[in-house]
Amino acid sequence: MSTIFSKIRDKEIPAEFLYEDEEIFAIKDIMPQANIHILIIPKKDIPTLNDITKSDTQLLGKMMLVASQLAQHFGIQDSGYRLVMNCNGDGGQTVFQLHLHLLGGEPLRGSFGN
């Protein structure tokens, strides 16, 4: 299925690529929710987290690695950051191409689990 992210991946829509390899790319979020808000996106068509299979585990791990490297690149590794992956309606997913949000550069509100 075509999405805004598959069009960016295919260079049909312009975007500033912060990272790109054969499997993953990263762009700045167009409506940032924090000073730093980056999206890490697999090139493979995967609509939601429900659609991953065992064969995607390395890809998912690489997305985390790229997020960590981008956090270091933008100098927020010590101040801290948050990774978010939304799934379907209640999760707040609006673009149905799997993506990981990297948020930081300021204190983030609404932490979970404490």
Which positions from 38 through 97 interact with ligand AMP, judged by CB under 6 A? Answer: 39, 86, 92-95
Q: Which of 22, 30, 55, 107 binds ligand AMP (CB under 6 A)?
A: 30
Which residues does the annotation mark as catalytic?
Answer: 99
Burial class for 19, CB neighbours closer than 10 Å (0-12, 13-18, 19+): middle
Give the span between the Cα atoms of 88 and 111, in whole angstroms.
20
28 in Cβ contact with 18 (< 8 Å): yes
Residue 69: phi, psi to the nearest 5? Answer: -65, -40
Does position 31 interact with ligand AMP (CB under 6 A)? The reply is yes
Question: Residue count at the site for ligand AMP (CB under 6 A)?
Answer: 12
When the beta carbons of 29 and 56 are compared against ligand AMP, the nearer one is 29
CA angle 65, 72, 85 (to 5 degrees): 45
When the beta carbons of 54 and 112 are compared against ligand AMP, the nearer one is 112
Does position 1 interact with ligand AMP (CB under 6 A)? The reply is no
| Per-residue DSSP letter, 101 | E
Rule CB under 6 A: which residues touch ligand AMP? 4, 15, 27, 29-31, 39, 86, 92-95
